Chains A and B, each alone.
Chain A
Amino acid sequence: MDSKSNSLLNEARAVAERIHSLRDFLEFLSEHGQCITWPDTVMPEPDIRNVAVAAGRDAMNGPAIIFDKITGYPGKRIVVGVHGSFTNLALLLGYPKGTTIKELFYEFVGRWGADKPLINRIEPGKAPVHAHRVERNINLYELIPLYRINEYDGGFYIAKANIVSRDPSDPDDFNKQNVGIYRIQVHGPDQLTIMTVPSHDLGQQIMMAEREDLPMKVAIMIGNHPAMALFAATPVNYDESEFAYASQMMGSPLDLTQSGNGMDILANSEMVIEAELVHNKRALEGPFGEFPGSYSGVRHVPVFKVTAVSHRADPFFESIYVGQGWTEHDTLIGLNTSVPIYAQLKQTMPEVVGVNALYQHGLTAIISVQNRFAGFAKSVAMRALGTPHGLLYLKNLILVDQDVDPFDLNQVMWALSTRTRASDIVVIPNMPMVIVDPAAEVPGKGHRLIIDATSHMPPDPVGADAKIITPPTGKEIDDLAKRIKALQGDRKQ
Protein backbone atom coordinates (compact mmCIF):
# COMPACT_ATOMS: atom_id res chain seq x y z
CA MET A 1 0.00 0.00 0.00
CA ASP A 2 1.42 3.40 -0.92
CA SER A 3 1.76 6.19 1.61
CA LYS A 4 -1.07 8.19 0.11
CA SER A 5 -3.55 5.32 0.62
CA ASN A 6 -2.22 4.93 4.12
CA SER A 7 -2.72 8.56 5.02
CA LEU A 8 -6.21 8.42 3.55
CA LEU A 9 -6.98 5.39 5.67
CA ASN A 10 -5.67 7.22 8.73
CA GLU A 11 -7.79 10.24 7.92
CA ALA A 12 -10.86 8.04 7.44
CA ARG A 13 -10.22 6.38 10.77
CA ALA A 14 -9.76 9.71 12.54
CA VAL A 15 -13.02 11.04 11.11
CA ALA A 16 -14.89 7.86 11.99
CA GLU A 17 -13.63 7.96 15.55
CA ARG A 18 -14.55 11.60 15.93
CA ILE A 19 -18.09 11.48 14.53
CA HIS A 20 -20.68 9.82 16.74
CA SER A 21 -23.64 12.01 15.98
CA LEU A 22 -25.18 14.61 13.73
CA ARG A 23 -23.79 17.32 16.04
CA ASP A 24 -20.26 16.02 15.67
CA PHE A 25 -20.65 15.99 11.91
CA LEU A 26 -22.06 19.53 11.73
CA GLU A 27 -19.11 20.78 13.73
CA PHE A 28 -16.72 18.92 11.42
CA LEU A 29 -18.46 20.28 8.32
CA SER A 30 -18.30 23.82 9.74
CA GLU A 31 -14.54 23.53 10.13
CA HIS A 32 -14.34 22.75 6.42
CA GLY A 33 -16.70 25.51 5.34
CA GLN A 34 -19.43 22.97 4.60
CA CYS A 35 -21.99 23.99 7.21
CA ILE A 36 -23.38 27.48 7.64
CA THR A 37 -25.91 29.06 9.96
CA TRP A 38 -28.50 31.12 8.12
CA PRO A 39 -28.09 34.68 9.38
CA ASP A 40 -31.65 35.94 8.88
CA THR A 41 -34.92 35.31 10.68
CA VAL A 42 -37.02 33.01 8.49
CA MET A 43 -40.70 32.18 8.20
CA PRO A 44 -41.27 28.40 8.23
CA GLU A 45 -42.84 28.79 4.79
CA PRO A 46 -41.68 29.58 2.20
CA ASP A 47 -38.24 30.69 3.43
CA ILE A 48 -36.78 27.31 4.45
CA ARG A 49 -37.94 25.75 1.19
CA ASN A 50 -36.43 28.60 -0.83
CA VAL A 51 -33.04 28.45 0.85
CA ALA A 52 -32.89 24.65 0.56
CA VAL A 53 -33.69 24.77 -3.17
CA ALA A 54 -30.98 27.38 -3.75
CA ALA A 55 -28.44 25.29 -1.83
CA GLY A 56 -29.32 22.26 -3.99
CA ARG A 57 -27.95 23.98 -7.07
CA ASP A 58 -24.43 23.13 -6.00
CA ALA A 59 -24.46 19.34 -5.88
CA MET A 60 -20.69 19.22 -5.56
CA ASN A 61 -20.05 21.70 -2.75
CA GLY A 62 -23.35 22.91 -1.26
CA PRO A 63 -23.24 23.29 2.54
CA ALA A 64 -25.50 22.03 5.29
CA ILE A 65 -27.63 24.95 6.48
CA ILE A 66 -28.76 25.52 10.06
CA PHE A 67 -31.78 27.71 10.79
CA ASP A 68 -31.96 28.92 14.38
CA LYS A 69 -34.13 32.01 13.98
CA ILE A 70 -37.49 30.60 12.86
CA THR A 71 -40.49 32.83 13.45
CA GLY A 72 -42.86 31.23 15.96
CA TYR A 73 -40.40 28.52 16.97
CA PRO A 74 -38.13 30.38 19.41
CA GLY A 75 -35.14 28.29 20.46
CA LYS A 76 -35.82 25.59 17.85
CA ARG A 77 -33.33 24.54 15.18
CA ILE A 78 -33.69 23.02 11.71
CA VAL A 79 -30.84 21.71 9.57
CA VAL A 80 -31.10 20.85 5.87
CA GLY A 81 -28.53 19.74 3.33
CA VAL A 82 -26.40 17.59 5.64
CA HIS A 83 -26.05 15.08 2.77
CA GLY A 84 -26.64 17.76 0.17
CA SER A 85 -23.30 17.64 -1.61
CA PHE A 86 -20.68 15.12 -2.62
CA THR A 87 -18.08 17.11 -0.70
CA ASN A 88 -20.08 16.54 2.50
CA LEU A 89 -20.09 12.79 1.77
CA ALA A 90 -16.37 12.89 0.96
CA LEU A 91 -15.57 14.57 4.29
CA LEU A 92 -17.58 11.92 6.12
CA LEU A 93 -15.39 9.25 4.52
CA GLY A 94 -12.17 11.06 5.40
CA TYR A 95 -11.58 12.46 1.91
CA PRO A 96 -10.73 16.09 1.19
CA LYS A 97 -12.74 18.71 -0.63
CA GLY A 98 -12.19 18.28 -4.36
CA THR A 99 -12.68 14.50 -4.28
CA THR A 100 -14.42 13.42 -7.47
CA ILE A 101 -17.69 11.48 -7.57
CA LYS A 102 -15.84 8.66 -9.31
CA GLU A 103 -13.36 8.41 -6.43
CA LEU A 104 -16.22 8.39 -3.93
CA PHE A 105 -17.97 5.65 -5.90
CA TYR A 106 -14.96 3.33 -5.67
CA GLU A 107 -14.56 4.16 -1.98
CA PHE A 108 -18.17 3.11 -1.40
CA VAL A 109 -17.52 -0.08 -3.39
CA GLY A 110 -14.52 -0.87 -1.21
CA ARG A 111 -16.43 -0.40 2.03
CA TRP A 112 -19.58 -2.22 0.94
CA GLY A 113 -20.77 -5.11 3.07
CA ALA A 114 -22.39 -6.00 6.36
CA ASP A 115 -20.41 -8.96 7.58
CA LYS A 116 -18.65 -7.03 10.35
CA PRO A 117 -21.24 -5.18 12.45
CA LEU A 118 -19.52 -2.87 14.92
CA ILE A 119 -21.87 -1.99 17.74
CA ASN A 120 -21.14 -0.19 21.00
CA ARG A 121 -23.97 -0.69 23.52
CA ILE A 122 -24.93 2.21 25.78
CA GLU A 123 -27.36 1.90 28.67
CA PRO A 124 -30.56 3.88 28.05
CA GLY A 125 -29.99 5.90 31.22
CA LYS A 126 -26.67 7.14 29.83
CA ALA A 127 -27.78 7.75 26.25
CA PRO A 128 -27.85 11.43 25.22
CA VAL A 129 -31.03 10.86 23.20
CA HIS A 130 -32.96 10.13 26.41
CA ALA A 131 -31.82 13.36 28.14
CA HIS A 132 -35.38 14.68 27.92
CA ARG A 133 -38.43 12.45 27.79
CA VAL A 134 -42.07 13.28 27.11
CA GLU A 135 -44.65 10.60 27.86
CA ARG A 136 -47.77 12.67 28.52
CA ASN A 137 -49.50 15.53 26.71
CA ILE A 138 -47.37 14.84 23.66
CA ASN A 139 -47.63 17.50 20.98
CA LEU A 140 -45.34 17.06 17.98
CA TYR A 141 -46.03 20.65 16.91
CA GLU A 142 -44.60 21.85 20.19
CA LEU A 143 -41.57 19.57 20.04
CA ILE A 144 -40.55 19.91 16.39
CA PRO A 145 -40.37 23.00 14.16
CA LEU A 146 -42.55 21.37 11.51
CA TYR A 147 -43.03 23.09 8.15
CA ARG A 148 -44.35 22.40 4.66
CA ILE A 149 -41.60 21.19 2.34
CA ASN A 150 -43.37 21.74 -1.01
CA GLU A 151 -46.28 24.10 -1.47
CA TYR A 152 -48.89 21.44 -2.31
CA ASP A 153 -47.82 18.82 0.22
CA GLY A 154 -50.83 17.57 2.17
CA GLY A 155 -49.29 18.59 5.48
CA PHE A 156 -46.07 18.88 7.43
CA TYR A 157 -43.67 16.02 6.84
CA ILE A 158 -40.84 14.43 8.73
CA ALA A 159 -39.01 13.38 5.60
CA LYS A 160 -35.53 12.33 6.69
CA ALA A 161 -36.18 10.22 9.77
CA ASN A 162 -34.82 6.70 10.12
CA ILE A 163 -37.58 4.40 11.26
CA VAL A 164 -36.68 1.29 13.25
CA SER A 165 -39.19 -1.55 13.37
CA ARG A 166 -39.05 -5.22 14.26
CA ASP A 167 -40.58 -8.28 12.71
CA PRO A 168 -43.85 -8.57 14.73
CA SER A 169 -43.62 -12.37 14.64
CA ASP A 170 -39.91 -12.50 15.50
CA PRO A 171 -39.26 -9.38 17.58
CA ASP A 172 -36.05 -10.67 19.14
CA ASP A 173 -34.12 -11.10 15.87
CA PHE A 174 -31.65 -8.19 15.59
CA ASN A 175 -31.07 -8.79 11.90
CA LYS A 176 -34.77 -8.73 11.02
CA GLN A 177 -35.01 -5.33 12.63
CA ASN A 178 -35.51 -2.87 9.82
CA VAL A 179 -34.20 0.66 9.54
CA GLY A 180 -35.65 2.66 6.69
CA ILE A 181 -36.45 6.16 5.55
CA TYR A 182 -40.17 6.47 4.90
CA ARG A 183 -42.04 9.73 4.65
CA ILE A 184 -44.02 10.65 7.76
CA GLN A 185 -46.97 13.03 7.71
CA VAL A 186 -48.05 14.54 11.02
CA HIS A 187 -51.82 14.28 11.45
CA GLY A 188 -52.23 15.59 14.95
CA PRO A 189 -50.37 16.25 18.19
CA ASP A 190 -49.73 12.50 18.64
CA GLN A 191 -50.86 11.00 15.34
CA LEU A 192 -48.88 10.34 12.20
CA THR A 193 -48.93 8.26 9.04
CA ILE A 194 -45.98 6.35 7.65
CA MET A 195 -45.99 5.84 3.89
CA THR A 196 -44.76 2.43 2.86
CA VAL A 197 -45.77 -0.12 0.26
CA PRO A 198 -46.38 -3.87 0.60
CA SER A 199 -43.03 -4.71 -0.99
CA HIS A 200 -40.99 -2.75 1.55
CA ASP A 201 -39.86 -4.32 4.84
CA LEU A 202 -42.04 -2.01 6.92
CA GLY A 203 -45.04 -2.66 4.70
CA GLN A 204 -44.62 -6.41 5.18
CA GLN A 205 -44.42 -5.92 8.94
CA ILE A 206 -47.60 -3.80 9.05
CA MET A 207 -49.52 -6.40 7.01
CA MET A 208 -48.30 -9.19 9.26
CA ALA A 209 -49.20 -7.30 12.47
CA GLU A 210 -52.71 -6.59 11.25
CA ARG A 211 -53.25 -10.11 9.92
CA GLU A 212 -52.04 -11.83 13.11
CA ASP A 213 -53.28 -9.07 15.46
CA LEU A 214 -49.76 -8.53 16.83
CA PRO A 215 -48.49 -5.27 18.32
CA MET A 216 -46.39 -3.23 15.92
CA LYS A 217 -44.07 -0.63 17.36
CA VAL A 218 -41.65 1.75 15.71
CA ALA A 219 -38.93 4.13 16.83
CA ILE A 220 -38.52 7.16 14.60
CA MET A 221 -34.98 8.54 14.84
CA ILE A 222 -34.53 12.17 13.79
CA GLY A 223 -31.16 13.90 13.38
CA ASN A 224 -28.86 10.92 13.18
CA HIS A 225 -25.30 9.83 12.65
CA PRO A 226 -24.74 10.76 8.98
CA ALA A 227 -23.79 7.19 8.01
CA MET A 228 -27.13 5.94 9.29
CA ALA A 229 -29.08 8.25 7.01
CA LEU A 230 -27.01 6.99 4.08
CA PHE A 231 -27.67 3.35 4.84
CA ALA A 232 -31.27 3.52 5.95
CA ALA A 233 -31.92 4.67 2.39
CA THR A 234 -30.21 1.61 0.96
CA PRO A 235 -32.14 -1.53 0.12
CA VAL A 236 -30.45 -4.41 1.97
CA ASN A 237 -31.84 -7.91 2.26
CA TYR A 238 -34.67 -8.47 4.77
CA ASP A 239 -32.43 -10.36 7.17
CA GLU A 240 -29.51 -7.92 6.94
CA SER A 241 -29.10 -5.13 9.47
CA GLU A 242 -28.77 -1.53 8.31
CA PHE A 243 -26.90 -0.85 11.56
CA ALA A 244 -24.29 -3.37 10.45
CA TYR A 245 -23.96 -1.72 7.03
CA ALA A 246 -23.64 1.75 8.52
CA SER A 247 -21.02 0.72 11.07
CA GLN A 248 -18.94 -1.18 8.57
CA MET A 249 -19.19 1.72 6.16
CA MET A 250 -17.67 4.00 8.79
CA GLY A 251 -15.26 1.36 10.05
CA SER A 252 -16.09 2.47 13.56
CA PRO A 253 -18.71 1.32 16.09
CA LEU A 254 -22.16 2.86 16.14
CA ASP A 255 -23.46 3.75 19.60
CA LEU A 256 -26.74 1.93 20.11
CA THR A 257 -29.17 2.01 22.98
CA GLN A 258 -32.78 0.92 23.52
CA SER A 259 -35.86 3.02 22.94
CA GLY A 260 -38.56 3.01 25.59
CA ASN A 261 -40.55 0.61 23.41
CA GLY A 262 -37.75 -1.90 22.94
CA MET A 263 -36.12 -1.00 19.62
CA ASP A 264 -32.40 -0.63 19.06
CA ILE A 265 -31.80 3.03 18.38
CA LEU A 266 -28.82 5.32 17.96
CA ALA A 267 -27.82 6.62 21.37
CA ASN A 268 -26.82 10.03 20.00
CA SER A 269 -29.78 10.91 17.79
CA GLU A 270 -31.34 14.31 18.29
CA MET A 271 -34.79 12.89 18.87
CA VAL A 272 -36.68 9.60 18.88
CA ILE A 273 -40.43 9.35 18.50
CA GLU A 274 -41.86 6.07 19.78
CA ALA A 275 -45.14 5.06 18.15
CA GLU A 276 -47.54 2.18 17.74
CA LEU A 277 -49.59 1.05 14.77
CA VAL A 278 -53.32 1.70 15.17
CA HIS A 279 -54.54 -1.55 13.65
CA ASN A 280 -56.58 -1.14 10.47
CA LYS A 281 -56.90 2.63 10.84
CA ARG A 282 -56.10 4.69 7.76
CA ALA A 283 -55.88 8.42 7.07
CA LEU A 284 -55.72 10.43 3.84
CA GLU A 285 -52.03 10.99 3.21
CA GLY A 286 -50.33 13.20 0.62
CA PRO A 287 -49.69 14.63 -1.78
CA PHE A 288 -45.97 14.81 -1.17
CA GLY A 289 -43.43 16.26 -3.57
CA GLU A 290 -41.37 13.19 -4.40
CA PHE A 291 -37.92 12.51 -5.80
CA PRO A 292 -38.82 12.53 -9.52
CA GLY A 293 -39.85 16.14 -9.01
CA SER A 294 -43.58 15.48 -9.04
CA TYR A 295 -46.27 15.01 -6.42
CA SER A 296 -47.54 11.64 -5.27
CA GLY A 297 -51.30 11.28 -5.08
CA VAL A 298 -53.55 11.23 -2.02
CA ARG A 299 -54.06 7.75 -0.56
CA HIS A 300 -55.21 5.95 2.55
CA VAL A 301 -52.17 5.15 4.65
CA PRO A 302 -51.67 3.34 8.01
CA VAL A 303 -51.87 5.48 11.16
CA PHE A 304 -49.53 5.36 14.15
CA LYS A 305 -50.10 6.83 17.62
CA VAL A 306 -47.13 8.44 19.36
CA THR A 307 -46.52 6.94 22.80
CA ALA A 308 -43.37 8.85 23.88
CA VAL A 309 -40.68 11.23 22.63
CA SER A 310 -37.06 11.35 23.79
CA HIS A 311 -34.73 14.13 22.78
CA ARG A 312 -31.44 15.84 23.48
CA ALA A 313 -31.29 19.41 24.76
CA ASP A 314 -32.06 21.88 21.93
CA PRO A 315 -32.46 19.14 19.33
CA PHE A 316 -31.86 19.76 15.64
CA PHE A 317 -34.77 18.87 13.40
CA GLU A 318 -32.90 17.40 10.45
CA SER A 319 -34.91 17.83 7.29
CA ILE A 320 -34.47 17.58 3.54
CA TYR A 321 -35.77 19.26 0.42
CA VAL A 322 -37.12 16.85 -2.19
CA GLY A 323 -38.27 17.96 -5.62
CA GLN A 324 -37.05 18.63 -9.14
CA GLY A 325 -33.41 17.63 -9.22
CA TRP A 326 -30.83 18.38 -8.11
CA THR A 327 -31.80 18.04 -4.45
CA GLU A 328 -30.31 16.57 -1.30
CA HIS A 329 -32.32 13.42 -1.93
CA ASP A 330 -30.25 12.73 -5.06
CA THR A 331 -26.94 13.06 -3.22
CA LEU A 332 -28.19 11.10 -0.23
CA ILE A 333 -29.15 7.98 -2.16
CA GLY A 334 -27.22 8.29 -5.42
CA LEU A 335 -24.06 6.36 -4.64
CA ASN A 336 -25.92 3.82 -2.53
CA THR A 337 -28.17 3.18 -5.49
CA SER A 338 -25.21 2.82 -7.85
CA VAL A 339 -22.98 0.53 -5.80
CA PRO A 340 -25.26 -2.52 -5.39
CA ILE A 341 -26.07 -2.51 -9.11
CA TYR A 342 -22.35 -2.42 -9.85
CA ALA A 343 -21.61 -5.23 -7.38
CA GLN A 344 -24.39 -7.41 -8.75
CA LEU A 345 -23.31 -6.91 -12.37
CA LYS A 346 -19.66 -7.46 -11.55
CA GLN A 347 -20.37 -10.96 -10.23
CA THR A 348 -21.05 -12.33 -13.70
CA MET A 349 -19.80 -9.54 -15.95
CA PRO A 350 -16.39 -8.50 -14.64
CA GLU A 351 -15.97 -6.19 -17.63
CA VAL A 352 -18.31 -3.67 -15.95
CA VAL A 353 -16.17 -0.72 -14.83
CA GLY A 354 -18.59 1.68 -13.16
CA VAL A 355 -22.27 2.45 -12.59
CA ASN A 356 -23.64 5.95 -12.26
CA ALA A 357 -27.28 5.66 -11.13
CA LEU A 358 -27.33 9.08 -9.47
CA TYR A 359 -30.26 10.40 -11.42
CA GLN A 360 -33.59 10.28 -9.59
CA HIS A 361 -32.91 7.03 -7.81
CA GLY A 362 -31.68 5.40 -11.01
CA LEU A 363 -34.47 6.38 -13.40
CA THR A 364 -31.51 7.20 -15.60
CA ALA A 365 -28.22 5.37 -15.21
CA ILE A 366 -24.94 5.21 -17.08
CA ILE A 367 -22.86 2.04 -17.09
CA SER A 368 -19.32 1.87 -18.37
CA VAL A 369 -18.17 -1.49 -19.65
CA GLN A 370 -15.45 -3.05 -21.72
CA ASN A 371 -17.18 -4.92 -24.53
CA ARG A 372 -16.28 -8.60 -24.39
CA PHE A 373 -17.56 -8.90 -27.95
CA ALA A 374 -19.77 -6.86 -30.23
CA GLY A 375 -23.14 -6.11 -28.65
CA PHE A 376 -22.03 -7.17 -25.17
CA ALA A 377 -23.02 -3.82 -23.64
CA LYS A 378 -26.66 -4.49 -24.49
CA SER A 379 -26.50 -7.76 -22.58
CA VAL A 380 -25.08 -5.88 -19.61
CA ALA A 381 -28.04 -3.50 -19.81
CA MET A 382 -30.48 -6.43 -19.86
CA ARG A 383 -28.85 -7.88 -16.79
CA ALA A 384 -28.97 -4.51 -15.02
CA LEU A 385 -32.74 -4.49 -15.60
CA GLY A 386 -32.89 -7.77 -13.70
CA THR A 387 -31.12 -6.53 -10.58
CA PRO A 388 -33.31 -5.93 -7.51
CA HIS A 389 -33.24 -2.17 -7.99
CA GLY A 390 -33.30 -2.38 -11.78
CA LEU A 391 -36.61 -4.25 -11.75
CA LEU A 392 -38.58 -1.11 -11.01
CA TYR A 393 -36.26 1.85 -11.26
CA LEU A 394 -33.74 1.60 -14.11
CA LYS A 395 -35.68 3.22 -16.93
CA ASN A 396 -33.12 4.88 -19.18
CA LEU A 397 -29.79 3.10 -19.47
CA ILE A 398 -26.80 4.52 -21.28
CA LEU A 399 -23.86 2.18 -21.92
CA VAL A 400 -20.43 3.69 -22.47
CA ASP A 401 -16.95 2.27 -23.00
CA GLN A 402 -14.49 1.59 -20.22
CA ASP A 403 -12.52 4.72 -21.10
CA VAL A 404 -15.52 6.97 -20.47
CA ASP A 405 -16.05 8.16 -16.90
CA PRO A 406 -19.79 7.56 -16.33
CA PHE A 407 -19.79 10.30 -13.67
CA ASP A 408 -18.47 12.92 -16.10
CA LEU A 409 -21.46 13.96 -18.17
CA ASN A 410 -19.29 15.77 -20.70
CA GLN A 411 -17.60 12.47 -21.46
CA VAL A 412 -20.93 10.66 -21.59
CA MET A 413 -22.28 13.21 -24.06
CA TRP A 414 -19.15 12.74 -26.15
CA ALA A 415 -19.83 9.02 -26.26
CA LEU A 416 -23.47 9.62 -27.22
CA SER A 417 -22.38 12.04 -29.93
CA THR A 418 -19.68 9.94 -31.49
CA ARG A 419 -20.53 6.30 -30.85
CA THR A 420 -24.30 5.97 -30.99
CA ARG A 421 -26.20 4.87 -34.05
CA ALA A 422 -30.02 4.92 -34.10
CA SER A 423 -29.90 1.15 -34.45
CA ASP A 424 -28.12 0.98 -31.09
CA ILE A 425 -31.23 2.18 -29.29
CA VAL A 426 -33.52 -0.45 -27.79
CA VAL A 427 -36.97 0.20 -26.36
CA ILE A 428 -38.60 -2.50 -24.28
CA PRO A 429 -42.28 -1.67 -23.97
CA ASN A 430 -44.72 -2.28 -21.11
CA MET A 431 -42.29 -3.16 -18.37
CA PRO A 432 -42.90 -2.86 -14.65
CA MET A 433 -42.11 0.62 -13.40
CA VAL A 434 -41.97 2.42 -10.08
CA ILE A 435 -45.37 4.05 -9.56
CA VAL A 436 -44.06 7.55 -8.91
CA ASP A 437 -42.49 7.85 -12.39
CA PRO A 438 -44.37 10.82 -13.85
CA ALA A 439 -43.61 9.70 -17.42
CA ALA A 440 -45.29 6.30 -17.08
CA GLU A 441 -48.25 5.72 -19.38
CA VAL A 442 -50.04 4.13 -16.44
CA PRO A 443 -48.58 4.23 -12.92
CA GLY A 444 -46.62 1.05 -12.40
CA LYS A 445 -45.93 0.25 -16.05
CA GLY A 446 -43.62 1.86 -18.56
CA HIS A 447 -41.05 1.50 -21.29
CA ARG A 448 -37.35 0.89 -20.81
CA LEU A 449 -34.76 2.58 -22.97
CA ILE A 450 -31.28 1.28 -23.66
CA ILE A 451 -28.79 3.44 -25.53
CA ASP A 452 -25.64 1.60 -26.46
CA ALA A 453 -23.00 4.32 -26.76
CA THR A 454 -20.06 1.93 -26.72
CA SER A 455 -17.69 1.71 -29.66
CA HIS A 456 -18.19 -0.71 -32.49
CA MET A 457 -16.06 -3.77 -32.86
CA PRO A 458 -15.85 -6.64 -35.33
CA PRO A 459 -17.95 -8.10 -36.80
CA ASP A 460 -19.63 -4.73 -36.57
CA PRO A 461 -18.57 -2.50 -39.50
CA VAL A 462 -16.86 0.63 -38.16
CA GLY A 463 -17.06 4.08 -39.69
CA ALA A 464 -14.58 4.69 -42.50
CA ASP A 465 -11.64 6.99 -41.82
CA ALA A 466 -12.43 7.23 -38.11
CA LYS A 467 -9.88 6.24 -35.52
CA ILE A 468 -10.52 7.18 -31.94
CA ILE A 469 -7.84 9.40 -30.38
CA THR A 470 -6.53 7.95 -27.18
CA PRO A 471 -5.71 10.89 -24.96
CA PRO A 472 -3.60 10.32 -21.85
CA THR A 473 -5.83 9.17 -19.00
CA GLY A 474 -5.54 7.69 -15.55
CA LYS A 475 -4.15 8.76 -12.23
CA GLU A 476 -1.46 11.01 -13.64
CA ILE A 477 -4.02 13.14 -15.49
CA ASP A 478 -6.45 13.06 -12.55
CA ASP A 479 -3.69 14.38 -10.29
CA LEU A 480 -2.76 17.07 -12.80
CA ALA A 481 -6.41 18.19 -12.95
CA LYS A 482 -6.44 18.49 -9.17
CA ARG A 483 -3.19 20.38 -9.19
CA ILE A 484 -4.60 22.87 -11.70
CA LYS A 485 -7.59 23.41 -9.40
CA ALA A 486 -5.33 23.85 -6.41
CA LEU A 487 -3.14 26.37 -8.26
CA GLN A 488 -6.27 28.32 -9.17
CA GLY A 489 -7.33 28.29 -5.52
CA ASP A 490 -3.88 29.58 -4.49
CA ARG A 491 -4.15 32.53 -6.81
CA LYS A 492 -7.48 33.63 -5.34
CA GLN A 493 -6.03 33.96 -1.86
Chain B
Amino acid sequence: MTSCPRCRADQSHCREEWQGLESGKLVWTVWHCTRCSFTWRDTEPPRSIDYAVREAFFRVDPDRPENYGQIIPPAGTRD
Protein backbone atom coordinates (compact mmCIF):
# COMPACT_ATOMS: atom_id res chain seq x y z
CA MET B 1 0.00 0.00 0.00
CA THR B 2 1.69 3.20 -1.17
CA SER B 3 1.19 6.52 0.56
CA CYS B 4 2.95 9.85 0.14
CA PRO B 5 6.18 9.98 2.19
CA ARG B 6 5.81 13.74 2.61
CA CYS B 7 2.12 14.42 3.34
CA ARG B 8 0.79 10.91 3.99
CA ALA B 9 -1.88 11.19 1.28
CA ASP B 10 -3.32 7.73 0.66
CA GLN B 11 -2.83 5.59 -2.42
CA SER B 12 -5.70 7.22 -4.31
CA HIS B 13 -3.51 10.37 -4.55
CA CYS B 14 -0.36 8.51 -5.57
CA ARG B 15 0.07 8.44 -9.32
CA GLU B 16 2.42 5.95 -10.90
CA GLU B 17 4.71 7.84 -13.29
CA TRP B 18 7.21 5.33 -14.62
CA GLN B 19 8.71 1.93 -13.99
CA GLY B 20 12.41 1.21 -14.37
CA LEU B 21 13.19 -2.12 -15.97
CA GLU B 22 16.36 -4.19 -16.34
CA SER B 23 16.07 -7.01 -18.88
CA GLY B 24 12.31 -6.85 -18.55
CA LYS B 25 12.42 -7.08 -14.76
CA LEU B 26 10.91 -4.31 -12.63
CA VAL B 27 13.60 -2.58 -10.53
CA TRP B 28 11.78 0.53 -9.32
CA THR B 29 8.66 2.65 -9.67
CA VAL B 30 8.42 6.46 -9.64
CA TRP B 31 5.37 7.94 -7.87
CA HIS B 32 3.91 11.42 -7.72
CA CYS B 33 1.58 12.72 -5.01
CA THR B 34 -1.23 14.71 -6.58
CA ARG B 35 -1.90 16.46 -3.25
CA CYS B 36 1.53 17.88 -2.28
CA SER B 37 3.43 17.41 -5.60
CA PHE B 38 6.10 15.20 -4.06
CA THR B 39 7.82 12.78 -6.45
CA TRP B 40 9.76 9.74 -5.35
CA ARG B 41 11.27 6.44 -6.42
CA ASP B 42 10.50 3.44 -4.25
CA THR B 43 14.18 2.41 -4.04
CA GLU B 44 15.41 5.65 -2.45
CA PRO B 45 16.99 5.71 1.04
CA PRO B 46 14.47 5.97 3.92
CA ARG B 47 15.54 9.55 4.72
CA SER B 48 13.89 10.58 1.45
CA ILE B 49 10.86 8.26 1.23
CA ASP B 50 9.93 6.98 4.71
CA TYR B 51 7.52 9.34 6.47
CA ALA B 52 8.65 8.07 9.89
CA VAL B 53 12.34 8.64 9.17
CA ARG B 54 12.11 11.91 7.22
CA GLU B 55 12.81 15.09 9.20
CA ALA B 56 9.50 16.58 10.33
CA PHE B 57 10.67 20.00 9.09
CA PHE B 58 10.15 18.84 5.51
CA ARG B 59 6.53 17.74 5.88
CA VAL B 60 3.98 19.51 3.72
CA ASP B 61 0.31 20.01 4.61
CA PRO B 62 -1.67 20.38 1.38
CA ASP B 63 -4.73 21.44 3.42
CA ARG B 64 -2.87 24.63 4.38
CA PRO B 65 -1.98 26.16 1.00
CA GLU B 66 -1.65 29.54 2.67
CA ASN B 67 1.55 28.25 4.31
CA TYR B 68 3.26 28.15 0.94
CA GLY B 69 3.81 31.51 -0.71
CA GLN B 70 3.21 32.57 -4.29
CA ILE B 71 6.48 33.44 -6.02
CA ILE B 72 4.58 35.01 -8.93
CA PRO B 73 0.92 35.46 -7.95
CA PRO B 74 -1.55 34.56 -10.72
CA ALA B 75 -2.84 37.54 -12.72
CA GLY B 76 -5.85 39.12 -11.06
CA THR B 77 -4.58 38.25 -7.58
CA ARG B 78 -1.64 40.67 -7.81
CA ASP B 79 -1.78 44.00 -6.03
Chain A interface (Cβ < 8 Å from any Cβ of B): 43-46, 71-74, 139, 141-142, 146-148, 151-152, 154-156, 185-189, 195-198, 203, 206-207, 210-211, 279-285, 287, 295, 297-302
Q: Which residues of A have CB within 8 Å of B48?
A: 45, 148, 151-152
Q: Which residues of A have CB within 8 Å of B71?
A: 195-198, 203, 285, 299-302
Given A189-B17, A300-B69, A71-B41 contact (CB < 8 Å):
no
A298/B68 in contact, CB under 8 A = yes
Chain B interface (Cβ < 8 Å from any Cβ of A): 6, 15, 17-18, 20-22, 27-28, 30, 32, 36-41, 43-45, 47-48, 54-55, 58, 60, 62, 65, 68-72, 74-76, 78
- One of B21, B39, B75 near A211 (C-beta < 8 A): B75
A345 to B41, CA, bound (A): 49
A73, A147, A283, A297: which has the most chain B beta carbons within 10 Å?
A73
Instruction: State the 8 A-B residue pairs at the shortest beta-carbon distance, nearest first.
Output: A72-B20, A141-B18, A155-B39, A210-B75, A280-B74, A284-B37, A72-B27, A45-B44
Further contacts, 16 of them, CB under 8 A, given A187-B37, A210-B75, A297-B68:
A45-B48, A74-B21, A141-B17, A148-B44, A148-B48, A152-B48, A154-B37, A154-B39, A155-B39, A155-B40, A195-B71, A198-B71, A203-B72, A282-B70, A300-B69, A302-B71
Q: Which residues of A have CB within 8 Å of B38?
A: 154-155
Q: What's the minimum C-beta distance from A93 to chain B, rounded to whole angstroms?
A: 36
Q: Which residue of B lies closest to A73 (CB)?
A: B20
B70/A300 in contact, CB under 8 A = yes
A148 to B47, CA, bound (A): 12
Q: Which residues of A have CB within 8 Å of B18?
A: 139, 141-142, 189
Q: Which residues of A have CB within 8 Å of B40?
A: 148, 155
B58/A287 in contact, CB under 8 A = yes
Q: Which residues of B have CB within 8 Å of A280?
A: 74-76
Q: Which residues of B have CB within 8 Å of A155?
A: 32, 37-40
- One of B17, B68, B72, B76 near A206 (C-beta < 8 A): B72
Given A45-B45, A282-B70, A287-B58, A72-B21 contact (CB < 8 Å):
yes
Q: Which residue of A lies closest to B76 (CB)?
A: A280
Q: Which residues of A have CB within 8 Å of B55?
A: 152
B41/A187 in contact, CB under 8 A = no
Q: Which residues of A have CB within 8 Å of B65?
A: 300
Given A195-B71, A196-B71, A43-B43 contact (CB < 8 Å):
yes
Q: Which residues of B have CB within 8 Å of A45?
A: 41, 43-45, 48
Q: Which residues of B have CB within 8 Å of A73?
A: 20
Q: What's the minimum C-beta distance from A194 to chain B, rounded to whole angstroms?
A: 10
